[in-house]
Chain A
Amino acid sequence: MSGLSVRNLWKAYPSAESKDDVLVALEDVSLEVREGEFVCVLGPSGCGKSTLLRIAAGLEKPSLGTVETPSRPSVVFQEHGVFPWLTVAENIAYPLRLRRVPRAQRAARVAELLDLVGLTEFASYYPAQISGGMRQRTSVARALADDGSVLLMDEPFGALDEQTRVVLQQELLRIWEQTSKAVLFITHSVDEALTLADRVVVMSHRPGRIIAEVEIPFGRPRDIIALRRDPRYGEITYQLWNLLERDDAARDDDEEVAA
């Protein structure tokens, strides 16, 4: 197995209200991301999708269930995930430095990655000197430095303006299509999920459960602008919104019953 495998994952936190109670964040989540597959997890805020990623990244322990990966996954975090005290090149080199990769080898790999994300000119800039889009490119390049087989992304483009976001989405696909990485991409954007993914996993409100898996029929390589006039684009958008809304309505009913 060279992808990511999550089986019957539960995560509970101590409840703030009562000592004996627990707050269930993830409820029996199982999902599989195969080698070379791009899977988006789509869900409302607070549905535990970031918790799922944190557990997959090894930052938190599962309460029950297992997560299996062939190697330590690389992670692209939300904005502000690059170190402000390191230059662009030093940020990208960070995982290599931790592993004491020899200097010459490190420099060669960093140069390659700078070129890949188009930041060669900005190698010696500090994060505060570059745009938000460039910072996320740095973050992506750093996650690629190790060349592991699993890439986790936690709403990496969420804070960017729409035009920059589309440019970065297209670039991410271009880079990823040259590899065979398994990608798990967390997002709250319907549009982003169906633009990027081979498969969209839809999660419910807390406690986070998987309520549907939707196959995205668009081929590879993808032109994410041309995609928008494909008649299926509107169809899938409608389908995904319906799933989210139905869950929302169900939750409202629950709350009324509780009240």
Chain B
Amino acid sequence: MTTVDTRVTSDRDQITAQLEDAVRAERGSVWIRRLGPYTPVFLLVVWEVLSRLGVLDARFFPPPTAIVETFIELLVSGRLITDALMTLSRIAVGFVLGAIPGLLLGLLLGSVRSVRLLLEPVFSSLLPIPKVAIYPLLLLIFGLGETSKYVIVAIGVFFYLFFNTMSGVMQTPPLFDDVARANGASRIQRRFTVSLPYALPSIFTGIKLATGGAFVIIAASEFVGAQSGLGYMIWSSWSTFAVSKMYVGIVTISALGYGATALEGLLERRLVPWVKY
């Protein structure tokens, strides 16, 4: 009996080892997976070398180390932080101003057919207008101050939130609405206990897209209509041919955008916990 047991166990060990090999083979090479995160670093090194060797024109593509130098300079002088905060505050205020009406109107039009039929064409026809194209008009109306920046960001953000909320609400399975009605929920209660939670994943998609959009819009607006902010920093570097500074502006904007989206991802996992299952 004992010998049989031993044979079985050793067979099992052998099979387990074979299974592990098979699973590993399916996951692909360890080497490539470990290397993945370092590819951008490798590309930066290539850039540095090519720029120093003169293969790349250093006037347009200054070596990354030179950009880092400028970055530190701007950071120490406080200029970078001031500009970044300026841009961020414009985005934050504009975002809230655009997101709240976008969400509420999306909820309304998504759930009330008659209002949707009446008003949707208005928003659909306004959607394709490039938001930056109305900036001169906003400058005329609101002047060169902060208000015009808030408004242009708000307009951009509004459309993302509005259309994503509306389509999320419209996809709500009728059964959920029936459940709420059978439990005696009023119209308003149904909007906030059924339509809104059902649309939340779609709303978060809207929030993330809106964030990207807001950075594009604010950068373009600061090019022409501002004396501060990261967009202004990039634009003014162009006119003084300070190419390194331009890169600092670009990298900072993209880092801030990435950070904002990551933060929203965290928020989403907290507020939409059921989606991961």
Contact with A along B251-277 (1 / 0, CB 8 A): 000000000000000000000111001
- A54 to chain B minimum Cβ distance, whole angstroms, is 8
Interface string of A55-72 (1 = CB under 8 A from B): 001110000000000001
Do A80 and B197 have beta carbons less than 8 Å apart?
no
A217 interface contact, C-beta 8 A: no
Q: Does B127 belong to the interface (CB within 8 Å)?
A: no
Complex CA distance for A83 and B182, rounded to whole angstroms: 14
Distance in angstroms from A129 CB to nearest chain B CB is 5
The CA of A128 and the CA of B173, in the complex, are separated in Å by 16
Cα–Cα, bound, A142→B184 (Å): 13
A85-B198 in contact (CB<8A): yes
Q: Which of B189, B194, B277 touches A128 (beta carbons < 8 Å)?
A: B277
B182 touches A75 (CB 8 A): yes
Contact A99 B184 (CB under 8 A): yes
CB-CB nearest in chain A for B190: A98
Chain B contacts for A59, CB-based, 8 A: 178, 181-182
Which residues of the partner chain B approach A142 to less than 8 Å between Cβ atoms? 183
Q: Are A81 and B193 in contact (CB under 8 A)?
A: no
Residue from B175, B184, B198, B272 in contact with A95 in the complex, judged by beta carbons closer than 8 Å: B184
A126 adjacent to B274 (CB under 8 Å): yes
Within 8 A of B (CB), among A122-143: 126-129, 142
Which DSSP category, helix, strand, loop or mixed, fits chain B's interface?
helix
Residues of A within 8 A of B181 (CB): 58-59
Distance A99 CA – B180 CA, assembled complex (angstroms): 12
A77-B175, A83-B194, A85-B198 in contact; A128/B182 too (CB < 8 A)? no
Does A233 have its Cβ within 8 Å of any Cβ on chain B?
Answer: no
Whole-angstrom CA separation of A73 from B181 in the bound complex: 11
Q: Is the CB of B193 within 8 A of A94?
A: yes
Interface status of A84 (Cβ within 8 A of chain B): yes
| Cα A193 to Cα B200 with chains together (Å) | 40
In-complex Cβ contact of A85 among B179, B184, B197 (8 A): B197
Contacts A85-B274, A94-B193, A98-B193 known; A77 to B184 CB distance under 8 Å? no
B142: chain A residues at CB < 8 Å are none
Asked if A98 meets B183 with Cβ closer than 8 Å, knowing A80-B175, A126-B274, A129-B277, the reply is yes
Residue B74 CB within 8 A of the other chain: no
Residue of B nearest to A79 (CB): B175
Q: A80 near B173 (CB under 8 angstroms)?
A: yes
Known: A126-B273, A128-B274. A83 touches B179 (CB 8 A): yes
Asked if B139 CB lies within 8 Å of chain A CBs, one says no
Contact with B along A102-130 (1 / 0, CB 8 A): 00000000000000000000000011110
**For the side of the interface on A, what is the size category?**
20 to 34
**Tally of B interface residues using CB under 8 Å:** 20
Known A-B contacts A83-B176, A98-B189, A126-B273; the reply to A58 vs B194 at CB < 8 A is: no
A54 to B182 alpha-carbon distance, docked (Å): 9
Residue of A nearest to B201 (CB): A85
Interfacial chain B residues near A85, Cβ < 8 Å? 197-198, 200, 272, 274
How far apart are the CA atoms of A59 and B200 in the complex, in Å? 26
| Contact residues in A for B184 (Cβ distance below 8 Å) | 72, 95, 98-99
Of the candidates B182, B274, B277, the one whose C-beta lies within 8 Å of that of A58 is B182
Q: From residue B198, how far is it (CB to closest CB) to chain A in Å?
A: 7
Complex Cα distance, B174 from A54, in Å, reads 13
Q: Which residues of B contact A54 (CB under 8 A)?
A: 178
> In chain B, what residue has the closest Cβ to A130?
B277
Closest chain-B Cβ to A239's Cβ sits at a distance in Å of: 33
Task: Kindly supply a per-residue 1/0 record for chain B positions 161-185, scoring 1 wherever the CB is within 8 Å of any chain A CB and 0 otherwise.
Answer: 0000000000001011011011111
Report 17 cross-chain contacts, Cβ distance below 8 Å, ordered by A residue: A72-B184, A73-B182, A75-B182, A75-B183, A77-B178, A78-B175, A81-B175, A83-B194, A85-B200, A85-B272, A86-B197, A94-B183, A95-B183, A99-B184, A126-B273, A128-B274, A142-B183
Known pairs A58-B181, A77-B179; list 13 more (Cβ under 8 Å). Answer: A58-B182, A59-B181, A75-B179, A77-B175, A80-B175, A83-B179, A83-B194, A85-B272, A95-B184, A98-B183, A98-B185, A126-B273, A127-B274
